[in-house]
């Protein structure tokens, strides 16, 4: 099955994992809305890469942690590309803190940008998916949700919350043709991991970071496989064994 005729929205599609997912979904046939927050040039470059390859994409700026911005983003995407059928909740931040330096402000920020955003965007996407009786919702959680990780407890909590959201939607929407699943990557090469302190590829059992493309192929599988629901997939090079 391809995604021909489907519209996908990738939050934080301008860089890293979101960029690779945007390109891969377009390659699978979807028209892709590439969301960015501040780096318009990066989003425009993703759109150019997709359109140069014969695909269809637009860049759409919005702070997905802000309700009004999310509403405006959906109006614009729907007007330009049609109803969103595939939603990838990928946008996120990772401000590394130690147990001595983490502050309440870090916790609030992580919950707002990583978790509240996913709730806001998914809430905006659900009505059209229900009308179409078809939808795919994909959450980018993290290995940190299960084993703590290298960023800090604020980040791990925000990513664990995404799994709860995913399970809630997977239970409530599957009978309407809408699946919800999560991907929980380990350390992946991106701007996010480049700035981490005391983190090296030796930390990963396979001896290297993963690539954004290795995560993107899972997103395409989840978007095209209607029998997957409520699952959390772990591309992590062996850092954590799911049972």
Q: What Å distances lie between residue 4 and 42, 85, 208, CA to CA?
A: 25, 11, 34
Buried b (16+ CB within 10 A) or exposed e, 36-65: bbeeeebbbbbbebbeeeebebbbbbbbbb
d(CA 177, CA 234): 24
Q: Candidates 44-52, 130-138, 166-174, 180-188 — which segment interacts with ligand NDP by CB under 6 A?
A: 180-188
Which two tokens mark 143?
């290995």
User: Other C-beta atoms within 10 Å of 8: how many?
Assistant: 31
Q: Does 87 bind ligand NDP (CB under 6 A)?
A: no
Does position 57 interact with ligand NDP (CB under 6 A)? The reply is no
Is residue 42 at the binding interface for ligand NDP, with CB under 6 A as the rule?
yes
**How many Cβ atoms from other residues are within 10 Å of residue 165's Cβ?**
19
| Cα 168 → chain centroid | 17
Point out which span in 91-99, 174-182, 200-208, 218-226 binds ligand NDP (CB under 6 A): 91-99
Give whichever of 17 and 173 is closer to ligand NDP, judged by the CB atom: 17
Catalytic annotation present for 169: no
Does residue 17 interact with ligand NDP by CB under 6 A? yes
Longest CA–CA span in the chain (Å) reads 50
Q: 153 with 200: CB under 8 angstroms?
A: no
Strand 86-89: give its sheet, edge to edge.
56-61, 31-36, 7-10, 86-89, 135-140, 178-183, 232-233
**Catalytic pick from 155, 169, 209, 240?**
155
Residue 11 as a binder of ligand NDP (CB under 6 A): the answer is yes
Chosen residue from 23, 24, 60, 94 binding ligand NDP by CB under 6 A: 94
Contacting residue, 90, 179, 224, 231, with ligand NDP by CB under 6 A? 90
**HSE-up of residue 162 (Cα within 13 Å, Cβ side):** 36
- 122 near ligand NDP, judged by CB under 6 A: no
Residue range at the interface with ligand NDP (CB under 6 A); choices 101-109, 168-176, 188-196, 220-228: 188-196
**CB nearer to ligand NDP: pick between 39 and 177:** 39
- Out of 77, 192, 222, 223, point to the residue binding ligand NDP (CB under 6 A): 192
Interface stretch with ligand NDP, choices 32-40, 52-60, 119-127, 218-226 (CB under 6 A):
32-40
Binding-site member from 2, 5, 38, 148 for ligand NDP (CB under 6 A): 38
Active site residues: 155
**Interacting residues toward ligand NDP by CB under 6 A:** 11-12, 14-18, 35-39, 42, 63-65, 90-94, 113, 140, 142, 185, 187-188, 190-193
């Amino acid at each position: 099955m391809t995604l021909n005729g489907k519209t996908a929205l990738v939050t934080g599609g301008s860089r890293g994992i979101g960029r690779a997912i945007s390109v891969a979904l377009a390659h699978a046939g979807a028209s892709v809305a590439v969301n960015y927050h501040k780096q318009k040039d990066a989003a425009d470059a993703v759109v150019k890469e997709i359109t140069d390859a014969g695909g269809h994409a637009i860049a759409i700026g919005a702070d997905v942690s802000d309700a009004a911005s999310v509403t405006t983003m959906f109006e614009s995407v729907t007007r330009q590309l049609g109803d969103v059928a595939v939603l990838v909740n990928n946008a996120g931040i990772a401000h590394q803190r130690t147990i001595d330096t983490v502050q309440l402000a870090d916790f609030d920020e992580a919950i707002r940008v990583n978790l509240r955003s996913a709730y806001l965007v998914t809430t905006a996407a659900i009505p059209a998916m229900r009308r179409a009786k078809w939808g795919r919702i994909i959450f980018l959680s993290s290995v940190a949700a299960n084993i703590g990780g290298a960023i800090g407890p604020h980040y791990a909590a925000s990513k664990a919350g995404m799994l709860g959201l995913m399970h809630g939607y997977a239970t409530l929407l599957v009978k309407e043709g809408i699946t919800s699943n999560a991907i929980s990557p380990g350390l992946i090469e991106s701007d996010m991991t480049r700035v981490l302190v005391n983190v090296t590829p030796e930390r990963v059992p396979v001896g290297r970071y993963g690539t954004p493309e290795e995560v993107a192929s899972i997103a395409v599988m989840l978007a095209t496989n209607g029998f997957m629901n409520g699952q959390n997939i772990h591309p992590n090079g062996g850092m954590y064994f799911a049972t």
